[in-house]
């Protein structure tokens, strides 16, 4: 799941970004509304976090306009207690500063599910089962010890239902825009997945496209 964090305070932005990445989210960041607007134009997000008051204006007004334009991405406002309730007609949720990071992560997960853009909590393919909430993988009753990147890539492949997934899509599922992985890093992750998944092979190469679960 991919999240955009729009926050002008460097310490808060870093704390939110780090916590979400540690929870397995791909995270992009913006410091003001013009940067957020550009990111939303280029990318697809499962949730957007807005600090309520930003240097270029009130994020509430921006979200209201985007809603009128048909943008339905879920929004979590980070706000002061004096203006928290006002944001609810246009945003989907809010947190009053200061807040606990586990609470923020729980709210973001809930918004992704509410939007209907998150994959189902459990994915299955043949004898493989992925629990997206617990971030666990089991094949034929055997628990797999996967890294965050390996789990994200495998989940994207399984969610495709056997259809080929482009390399760029797999990279986008596991690495956010702030990280430019080396050209062969996806191949390294795929090789590790194949080894951990064992036999019979599940991950197949589709030449000129990417990979698929077979």
Cα 147 from Cα 47, distance rounded (Å): 23
| Residue in 140, 73, 149, 82 with CA at minimum distance from that of residue 111 | 73
Residue 84's domain comprises 2-115
Task: Answer positive or negative: Cα dihedral of 60, 28, 54, 9.
Answer: positive
pLDDT string in tens for the chain (214-residue length): 789 999 999 999 999 999 998 888 889 999 999 999 988 887 888 899 999 889 998 888 888 888 767 677 889 999 876 655 555 555 578 888 888 999 999 989 888 876 554 445 688 889 999 987 778 899 999 999 998 889 889 988 988 888 888 888 888 777 765 555 566 888 899 999 999 999 999 999 998 888 999 8
Q: Is 146 helix (H, G, I), strand (E, B) or coil?
A: coil
- CA separation for the pair 165, 210 (Å, rounded): 6
- CA dist 103 to 4, 19, 110, 157, Å? 17, 11, 11, 29
Residue that finishes a domain, picked among 88, 115, 142: 115
Which one of 115, 132, 155 terminates a domain? 115
* CATH number of domain containing 36: 3.40.50.2300
Whether residue 202 is found in the same domain as residue 126: yes
pTM over 0.75: no
d(CA 113, CA 99): 21
Q: Which of 131, 65, 78 is nearest to 107 (CA)?
A: 78
Distance of alpha carbon 35 from alpha carbon 21, whole angstroms: 20
């Amino acid at each position: 799941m991919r999240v955009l964090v729009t926050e002008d305070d460097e310490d808060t932005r870093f704390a939110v970004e780090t916590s979400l990445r540690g929870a397995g989210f791909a995270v992009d960041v913006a410091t003001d509304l013009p940067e957020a607007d550009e990111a939303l134009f280029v990318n697809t997000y499962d949730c957007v976090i807005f600090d309520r008051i930003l240097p270029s204006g009130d994020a509430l007004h921006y979200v209201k306009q985007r809603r009128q334009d048909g943008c339905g991405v879920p929004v979590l406002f980070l706000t002061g207690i004096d203006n928290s309730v006002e944001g609810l007609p246009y945003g989907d949720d809010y947190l009053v500063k200061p807040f606990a990071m586990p609470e923020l992560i729980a709210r973001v997960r809930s918004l992704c599910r509410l939007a209907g853009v998150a994959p189902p909590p459990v994915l299955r393919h043949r004898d493989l089962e992925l629990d997206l909430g617990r971030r666990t993988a089991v094949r034929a009753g055997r628990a797999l010890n996967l890294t965050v990147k390996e789990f994200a890539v495998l989940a994207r492949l399984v969610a495709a239902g056997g259809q080929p997934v482009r390399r760029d899509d797999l990279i986008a599922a596991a690495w956010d825009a702030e990280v430019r992985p080396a050209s062969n890093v996806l191949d390294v992750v795929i090789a590790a997945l194949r080894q951990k998944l064992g036999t019979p092979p599940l991950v197949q190469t589709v030449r000129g496209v990417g990979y698929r679960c077979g």
